[in-house]
Amino acid sequence: MNFDLHYKPILDALGGKYVDIMDFHWYGNSTGDYRDAKEVYNQIRAVLNADGFPPIPIWITEMGSYSGDPAPVGPLPDYPLQTERQQALDYFKRFVYPLSFGVKKIFPAYGLMEGLHYGGGYFDYTGLIYDGWDPAGGAPYDLGLGVKKLGYYTYKKMTEMLEGSDWENIETIRDSGDVYIFKFIKQGAPVYVAWWDYFNDPSYTPGKTMQVSLSGLQGTAAVITEAVPKFSAGVEVTDYSTAFSTSMLTISNGSVMVDLGDSPVIVESPLLIPLKTIALTTDAEGGSARPEIVATAEKIYVVYLGNISDGNNRRFHMKIYDNQLETLIAQKTLFKTTEEYGGPTDIRAASDGQNLYAFFETHKTISPDAAETYLWATTCALNDDCTSFAANATLIAASIPMTDSPDGQELLDDPAPLIGPNSVFVVTRFDNSISPEGETVYHVREFDKDTLTLRSERHLDLSDAADGRGRVASLLFRNNSIYMALATTFPPDQVVREETDDGALSDIILVRMNQDWSFDPQTDVRTISAEPDDRENYITGLEADGNYFYITYKQTVGIPNTVDGKHRAMIKIFDNDFNLLLGEQVKETLWGKDGGEIRPSLEVFGNRIYSGQSAGQGIGTGNAGIYVYETQ
């Protein structure tokens, strides 16, 4: 092989030094050439080992497959005609298979869009987006500049479903008889990838399948997603969310039987199964944002910021639905913009099963350089369609916005409710530096459940548990203890931006407190979410049932106003010892001026999870949505 002729003598001479990464290129057709990369890898690794090199990574720095009928340009052979579907199938395998035997990175060539030499050769057709060019006199394979091929959508789906896997622990379950099965671990849960090289079966006809068994699955059902869209060309994909064939199989004793056709499949056994998504409002209603949800056996109550398209006349509204979110039963207004107290901004809600409690903020502009904020509380009985909701609104505090506040000033945005056995609480925070030196201090107000009369208030200093200013948090009363999920700045040696809660890398900690709000920093504090190099904050939901704990929060990654900058609405599920079972990304937007607001909410009732999501840029556009999941 060329490696032995050209590279082995050089590596022999280097004697195990001066090389940090080794690479090779791998191309070919869609009928099995991808498999020969393993032999090449093994040969390279054997030479490196024999020459005394440490276990340096091996990359495939050029990889590709094509659609169309490339001309035999230069030393390349006359490759046969391949369809978009064949290219997509091959690309998927060319990514997954090398990862399974040790290749650390694979780079597709030569970019997402077609075109290299414009001579009609192999490398002019390896892209996943058409470039609008066909060779003179050649067959018209190009469907137009910017048209995405099937492989584009396959690449996107593969990335979405496998991103976040433990790449150091990919298990090969089967690699024989033209059947390939691999087990990935993603956020603690197994994800299987399987395919059948049907083209080696001389009796194969379209529709024929090969049945395989997958074991070690969790839950009661497995979701099987085909890796290539159910079309012959990418131009036929009009709705990405429905472009892939999916099915669900019942798990029996941890196993399922899967029928493999021409497309690879990705098999998950999630604890969350998406059921539906509904839009809370229409543009004609003025749009909506920041929905909070309370569920009962018969009804779903949603309080939200409404009429957001009119920045001078925003309102807090409530809509009441049947328990399937199919019929709107009633709707009402909680609070309107007023000259005295300004307009609504943030709202949080909770329930004890009998009553709904909401705490909300309004914002009043005093002058171009000054403003005031106000904190309110209200409640209503769930059995009377909340007819007293607006009438019960009570003013409880006033302050100034975060943009104007000095260190030590109370902030009233996103007030966190807590339902106790005999009282209801609201927790606000104090402004401070977001750096690790900043103090983490909150303020707790306790109210009578029936009258919302203030019973007590106190400072809650969590600086022994967390670093940086208090950020948006959530609380839960369970087993005679108070649980509080909040952000902490980490790592300590970082440059921060003080003007935003996204201004520092952060993790999520959980503090377990006694009913008098005391805790032991050594035994009652633990980190429950610590993804690398991200900002995990806006913890706007903490719930529990008899089996699991649930949190929702905003994850921010990358750099703002770049393609890598992202906001994500996350749900994570933990067992009763706070071991992570599942992480689910509900929504993603760009981080920056062209992105959308991420501030999720969470409600758990029975085996349903409800996630409320804003939809537009900031809080001035869009119609909020409710995402419904079923837990297993």
Q: Which domain holds residue 37?
A: 2-147
Last residue of some domain: 248, 270, 292? 270
Task: Read off the CATH number of the domain in which 237 is found.
Answer: 2.60.40.1180
In this structure, is residue 595 part of a structural domain?
yes
**Which stretches of 160-308 are assigned E, i.e. beta strand?**
171-176, 179-186, 189-196, 210-214, 221-226, 246-250, 256-260, 265-268, 272-279, 288-295, 299-306
Q: What is the rounded CA–CA span in Å between residue 59 and residue 21?
A: 7
Positive or negative, the CA dihedral 406, 408, 410, 414 is positive
Classify strands 246-250 and 221-226 as parallel, antiparallel or unpaired.
Answer: antiparallel
* Residues 105 and 187 grouped into a single domain: no
Q: Which helix (H) or strand (E) holds 527?
A: strand 525-529
In this structure, is residue 162 part of a structural domain?
no
* Residues 208 and 281 grouped into a single domain: no
pLDDT score at 74: 79
Report the predicted TM-score, pTM, of the whole model to 2 decimal places.
0.65
Q: Which helix (H) or strand (E) holds 510?
A: strand 506-513
Cα–chain center distance at 616: 17
Q: What is the rounded CA–CA span in Å between residue 86 and residue 32?
A: 11
Q: What is the rounded CA–CA span in Å between residue 103 and residue 148?
A: 28
In this structure, is residue 156 part of a structural domain?
no
Q: Report residue 311 as tokens.
A: 């920045």
* Residues 248 and 351 grouped into a single domain: no
pLDDT score at 242: 81
Closest to 471 measured CA to CA, from 516, 513, 511, 441: 441
The number of domains in the chain is 3
At 448, is the secondary structure helix, strand, or coil? strand
* Residues 434 and 552 grouped into a single domain: yes
* Residues 140 and 188 grouped into a single domain: no
In this structure, is residue 458 part of a structural domain?
yes
Last residue of some domain: 270, 295, 312? 270
Closest to 439 measured CA to CA, from 460, 412, 414: 460
pLDDT score at 617: 67
pLDDT score at 139: 66
Q: What is the rounded CA–CA span in Å between residue 352 and residue 418?
A: 10
* Residues 444 and 465 grouped into a single domain: yes
In this structure, is residue 512 part of a structural domain?
yes
Q: Is 18 exposed, middle or buried (0-12, 13-18, 19+ CB in 10 A)?
A: exposed
* Residues 464 and 521 grouped into a single domain: yes
Closest to 271 measured CA to CA, from 583, 626, 605: 583
In this structure, is residue 157 part of a structural domain?
no
pLDDT score at 272: 80
Residue 577 CB contacts under 8 Å (≥ 6 apart), including other chains = none
Task: Read off the CATH number of the domain in which 321 is found.
Answer: 2.120.10.10
Q: CA angle, 61 as apex, 56 and 65 as ends, to 5°?
A: 140
pLDDT score at 632: 59
* Residues 261 and 297 grouped into a single domain: no
pLDDT score at 295: 96
* Residues 111 and 215 grouped into a single domain: no
* Residues 34 and 183 grouped into a single domain: no
Residue 320 CB contacts under 8 Å (≥ 6 apart), including other chains = 299, 300, 301, 302, 328, 329, 330, 331, 385, 386
* Residues 441 and 516 grouped into a single domain: yes
What are the per-10-residue average pLDDT scores of the chain (632 residues)? 86 94 94 95 96 96 94 86 96 97 93 87 93 78 93 95 92 95 87 96 92 85 90 93 84 92 90 88 93 96 93 91 95 92 96 95 93 95 80 93 91 96 97 96 96 96 97 95 97 89 95 97 96 94 89 94 90 84 87 81 94 79 92 69
In this structure, is residue 48 part of a structural domain?
yes
Last residue of some domain: 218, 238, 270? 270
pLDDT score at 77: 87
Closest to 318 measured CA to CA, from 396, 395, 394, 378: 378
Cα–chain center distance at 362: 30
Closest to 586 measured CA to CA, from 571, 564, 599, 603: 571
pLDDT score at 3: 84
In this structure, is residue 550 part of a structural domain?
yes
* Residues 207 and 299 grouped into a single domain: no
